């Protein structure tokens, strides 16, 4: 940013105030307040307090349980544009609609592509944390705006070595291997991955890897998303059944479906921790320090 | 429609099945089923059963409490387009986001314009019933797709003369005059409008019009939208206080905000009836016969 360019502005969608405050400090950004309420008939009313004319504006919106958050988010982008903002970026620590990336059955909606189109049409750039990329190699395959993916691995690893003595990282399934390996490598921690053995259409068993020499380590179950909690709970049951200590669960995005917490408790999980990509009581791992440099790069572009 | 052109198809968004069945019969349209469910993390999953390739498809979606219905609706439109539909029309008996049509205070979002843009980008045409046009002269001011407004006045008038002996139509405020007059004129019924006297910023009183000669008529309070119910309830209290019979309330769009029914009951309302533009226990007035010709015109265009 040139010395005489005005400072960026930052706006929180409802529920994103703590992360927005933290980012405002790191970015030296002016906070604008966005009023959002609902009429008796459920329609959204939005009002921006502040003047974004000619300014670069960062919108912060995490999008777990996304559907009723999407219209207010797009309204906010249109409003900023109407009021003369020069650049509108989106910080979306949890990016939804990454799941349905192909038609597994005929007639299925490719929601990932539609959603990417909507965001790309309303924002100039996007910063997110570890999106659930399956078959897409990068966001650019579906998002036409500029995007940056910030990895959560460094902050997860920091948290683990600070809070847990002698950890061993464990991925609940093959898909989690990429996250587990990334976290383990930043701090040179031991890690293992559980494997699923498929014996038939519905007959799937989990197999514990060789834990020789790690019996006295504290197991840390690691995954990118915790939604129903079923996979992690099953893994936890296998660990305790094998005589290991009750595991700590560390995930990037803690979505916590209806019965997830209960399921994890019953499976013998000692503690669950996630980042503040979604606001939950378990959101103990802050992301603002990781997000700020990526946001700055877009603001300076 | 030419004799050898394939029949149109019709699809209900969740909750719109009864109106869709009725329209399918009137239009001689093939019904496709759209599966919609939510993942544990709240994301929408949609799957169309049937093949819309090369076909004209009518999507039926009423949009009261609209925000969490908007993403599935737009996903459905994208899906139909992806699967090769030749024309995609929207029947939206209750069209939301007509309220915020100008910035009453600085910084307010013009949600009506954003919403109009989204629908216009996803559908080829739109049919609705009595949208709440305030300062817009027609939908064309904000909607760039072809649209038809179907009036509910004929079916409201039919219902009133069929169900109520010696009705007198009463509008609760000056804004309702257009609806009251339209309904009254189709059946040559007597009508009156209550007037609001403003004595200060918050001091507003209602004034009963001259009811001479109509004392034994049954008062029918008429309005386009029932949301909080406050205006109609206040009007009802004035009518009963003046010694008239407990009124029947007839509205086009029954949105019924949280306390609306309670409020109307306490105000002495005898009965509330609305069209099926929104599905409610009070939706006794069917719209399919009014909607079908307007839909046919778009299908044939």
Q: What is the 3-state secondary structure (H, E, C) of A28-45?
A: CCEEEEEEEEECCCCCEE
ipTM score: 0.92
Same domain, B133 and B146: yes
Same domain, A146 and A177: no
Instruction: Return d(Cα B160, Cα B158) in angstroms, integer.
Output: 6
Q: Note whether B65 contacts A42, CB cutoff 8 Å.
A: yes
The tokens describing A209, both together, are 């890897």
Cβ-nearest to A227 among B40, B70, B225? B40
Percent of chain A with pLDDT over 70: 96
CB B170 within 8 A of CB B239: yes
CB A80 within 8 A of CB A59: yes
Q: Please state the domain count of chain B.
A: 2
- Dihedral (C-alpha) B129, B132, B137, B139: value to the nearest 10 degrees? -50
| Per-residue pLDDT at A121 exceeds 70 | yes
Residue B281 included in any domain: no
Give SS3 for A139.
helix
Using left for φ > 0, alpha for ψ between -120 and 50, and beta otherwise, residue A26 falls in alpha
Q: Which residue has the higher pLDDT, A258 or A118?
A: A118
Same domain, B226 and B256: yes
Same domain, B269 and B183: yes
Residue B268 included in any domain: yes
Helices marked H in chain B = 17-27, 70-82, 111-122, 153-163, 177-187, 230-241, 260-266, 288-300
Average pLDDT over residues A82-98: 97
Please tell me if residue B210 touches chain A, with a CB cutoff of 8 Å: no
DSSP state of B242: T
- Can you give the pLDDT at residue B198? 66
Residue A99 included in any domain: yes
Q: Per residue in A193-244, pLDDT tens?
A: 998 776 666 666 788 888 888 989 999 999 999 999 999 999 999 999 989 9
The tokens describing A194, both together, are 């559980």
CATH number at residue B44: 3.40.50.2020
The HSE-up count of residue A202 (CA atoms within 13 Å, CB side) is 0
Residue B119 included in any domain: yes
- Dihedral (C-alpha) A254, A260, A265, A269: value to the nearest 10 degrees? -40
| Per-residue pLDDT at B181 exceeds 60 | yes
CB B247 within 8 A of CB B221: yes
Size of interface A-B (CB pairs under 8 A): 146
Please tell me if residue B255 touches chain A, with a CB cutoff of 8 Å: yes
Same domain, B107 and B161: no
- Can you give the pLDDT at residue B201? 60
Pick from B111, B120, B161: nearest CA to B140: B120
Cβ-nearest to B42 among A49, A64, A111? A64
- The Cα of A55 is separated from the nearest Cα of chain B by a number of Å equal to 15
Q: Collect all residues of chain B within an 8 Å Cβ-Cβ radius of residue A45.
A: 100, 108-109, 111
CB A152 within 8 A of CB A290: yes
Q: Note whether B79 contacts A39, CB cutoff 8 Å.
A: no
- The Cα of B145 is separated from the nearest Cα of chain A by a number of Å equal to 18
Q: Which one of B11, B15, B43 makes the best mutation probe of the A interface by having the most chain A beta carbons within 10 Å?
A: B43
Q: Note whether B67 contacts A65, CB cutoff 8 Å.
A: no
Average pLDDT over residues A73-83: 98
Please tell me if residue B70 touches chain A, with a CB cutoff of 8 Å: yes
Torsion sign across C-alpha atoms B232, B234, B236, B239: negative
Instruction: Return d(Cα B283, Cα A47) in angstroms, integer.
Output: 34
Question: Rounded mean pLDDT of chain A?
Answer: 93
DSSP state of B73: H
Please tell me if residue B99 touches chain A, with a CB cutoff of 8 Å: yes
| Per-residue pLDDT at B132 exceeds 80 | yes
Between the alpha carbon of residue A170 and those of residues A236, A273, B297, the distances in Å are 10, 15, 62
Which residues is A88 bridged to in the sheet? A57
CB B282 within 8 A of CB B288: no
| Per-residue pLDDT at A169 exceeds 80 | yes
Q: Note whether A41 contacts B64, CB cutoff 8 Å.
A: yes
Task: Count the neighbouring beta carbons within 10 Å of the beta carbon of residue A180.
Answer: 24
- Dihedral (C-alpha) A137, A139, A143, A144: value to the nearest 10 degrees? -80
Please tell me if residue B111 touches chain A, with a CB cutoff of 8 Å: yes
pLDDT bucket at B144, cuts 50 / 70 / 90:
very high
Q: Note whether B114 contacts A46, CB cutoff 8 Å.
A: no
Instruction: Return d(Cα A8, Cα A183) in angstroms, integer.
Output: 32
Instruction: Return d(Cα A17, Cα A60) in angstroms, integer.
Output: 8
CB A20 within 8 A of CB A11: yes
Instruction: Return d(Cα A65, Cα A29) in angstroms, integer.
Output: 28
Q: Which residue has the higher pLDDT, A196 or A143?
A: A143
Same domain, B71 and B199: no
| Per-residue pLDDT at A12 exceeds 90 | yes
Helix (H), strand (E) counts: chain A: 8, 15
Same domain, A54 and A89: yes
Same domain, B24 and B142: yes
Instruction: Return d(Cα B78, Cα A109) in angstroms, integer.
Output: 8
Residue B35 included in any domain: yes
Cβ-nearest to B114 among A66, A74, A111? A74
Instruction: Return d(Cα B181, Cα A296) in angstroms, integer.
Output: 60
- The burial class, CB within 10 Å (0-12 / 13-18 / 19+), for A135 is exposed
Q: Collect all residues of chain A within an 8 Å Cβ-Cβ radius of residue B40.
A: 227-228, 255, 257-258, 260
Domain that holds residue B63: 9-151+287-300
The tokens describing A152, both together, are 């959560």
Whose tokens are 């049937």? That residue is B50
- Can you give the pLDDT at residue B5? 77
Distance of CA A298 to the CA centre of its chain: 19
Q: Which residue has the higher pLDDT, B265 or A211?
A: B265
Residue B4 included in any domain: no
pLDDT bucket at A6, cuts 50 / 70 / 90:
confident
- The Cα of B168 is separated from the nearest Cα of chain A by a number of Å equal to 28
The tokens describing B273, both together, are 């009836």
Average pLDDT over residues A293-301: 95
Q: Which one of A41, A50, A264 makes the best mutation probe of the B interface by having the most chain B beta carbons within 10 Å?
A: A41
Q: Note whether A110 contacts B78, CB cutoff 8 Å.
A: yes
Same domain, A31 and A20: yes
Whose tokens are 């296998």? That residue is A238
The HSE-up count of residue B225 (CA atoms within 13 Å, CB side) is 21
What is the pTM assigned to this prediction?
0.93
Cβ-nearest to B107 among A39, A48, A117? A48
- The Cα of A68 is separated from the nearest Cα of chain B by a number of Å equal to 4
- Can you give the pLDDT at residue A301? 84
| Per-residue pLDDT at A124 exceeds 70 | yes
- Can you give the pLDDT at residue B1? 47
- Can you give the pLDDT at residue A36? 97
Same domain, A185 and A144: no
DSSP state of A8: P
Q: Phi and psi at residue A297, in whole multiples of 5°?
A: -60, -40
Average pLDDT over residues A113-133: 96
| Per-residue pLDDT at A1 exceeds 60 | no
Same domain, A103 and A120: yes
| Per-residue pLDDT at B34 exceeds 70 | yes
- Can you give the pLDDT at residue B143? 94
Average pLDDT over residues B264-280: 96
Average pLDDT over residues B50-70: 97
Residue B136 included in any domain: yes
Q: Collect all residues of chain B within an 8 Å Cβ-Cβ radius of residue A67.
A: 42-44, 67-72
Interfacial A residues in 3-62 facing B (CB < 8 Å):
39-50
| Per-residue pLDDT at B189 exceeds 90 | yes
Same domain, A53 and A76: yes
DSSP state of A278: S
Average pLDDT over residues B146-155: 96
Whose tokens are 């386009």? That residue is B224
Please tell me if residue B188 touches chain A, with a CB cutoff of 8 Å: no
Q: Collect all residues of chain A within an 8 Å Cβ-Cβ radius of residue B99.
A: 39, 43
Residue A4 included in any domain: no
The tokens describing B54, both together, are 């090369």
Average pLDDT over residues A57-80: 97
CB A216 within 8 A of CB A190: no
- Dihedral (C-alpha) B144, B116, B49, B29: value to the nearest 10 degrees? -60
Average pLDDT over residues A90-96: 97
Q: Collect all residues of chain B within an 8 Å Cβ-Cβ radius of residue A231.
A: none
Query: Which of A296-300, B185-189, B201-205, B265-269 is predicted least confidently?
Result: B201-205
Cβ-nearest to A257 among B41, B74, B113? B41
Q: Per residue in B71-125, pLDDT tens?
A: 999 999 999 999 999 999 999 999 999 988 889 999 999 999 999 999 999 999 9
pLDDT bucket at A178, cuts 50 / 70 / 90:
confident
**What's the farthest any 2 CA atoms get from each other in chain A?**
66
CA angle B31, B33, B39 (to 5 degrees): 165
Pick from A231, A228, A227: nearest CA to A247: A231
């Amino acid at each position: 940013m040139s010395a005489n360019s005005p400072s960026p502005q930052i706006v929180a969608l409802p529920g994103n105030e703590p992360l927005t405050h933290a980012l405002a400090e790191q970015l030296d950004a002016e906070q604008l307040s966005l009023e959002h309420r609902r009429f008796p008939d459920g329609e959204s009313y939005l009002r921006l307090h502040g003047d974004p004319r000619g300014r670069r504006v960062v919108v912060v919106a995490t999008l777990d349980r996304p559907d009723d958050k999407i219209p207010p988010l797009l309204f906010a982008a249109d409003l900023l544009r109407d009021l003369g903002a020069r650049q509108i970026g989106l910080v979306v620590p949890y990016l939804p609609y990454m799941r349905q990336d192909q038609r597994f059955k005929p007639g299925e909606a490719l929601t990932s592509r539609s959603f990417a189109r909507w965001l790309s049409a309303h924002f100039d750039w996007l910063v997110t944390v570890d999106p659930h990329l399956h078959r897409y190699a990068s966001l650019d395959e579906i998002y036409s705006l500029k995007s940056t993916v910030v990895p959560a691995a460094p902050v997860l690893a920091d948290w683990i070595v600070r809070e847990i003595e002698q950890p061993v990282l464990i991925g609940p399934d093959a898909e989690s291997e990429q996250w587990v390996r990334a976290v383990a490598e930043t701090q040179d921690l031991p890690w293992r991955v559980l494997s699923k053995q498929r014996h038939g259409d519905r007959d799937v068993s989990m197999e514990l890897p060789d834990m020789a020499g790690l019996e006295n380590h504290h197991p840390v179950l690691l995954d990118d998303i915790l939604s129903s909690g079923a996979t992690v709970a099953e893994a936890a049951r296998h660990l305790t059944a094998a005589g290991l200590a009750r595991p700590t669960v560390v995930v990037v995005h803690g979505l916590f479906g209806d019965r997830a917490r209960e399921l994890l408790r019953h499976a013998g999980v000692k503690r669950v921790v996630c980042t503040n990509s979604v606001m939950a009581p378990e959101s103990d791992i802050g992301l603002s320090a990781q997000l700020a440099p990526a946001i700055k790069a877009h603001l300076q572009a």
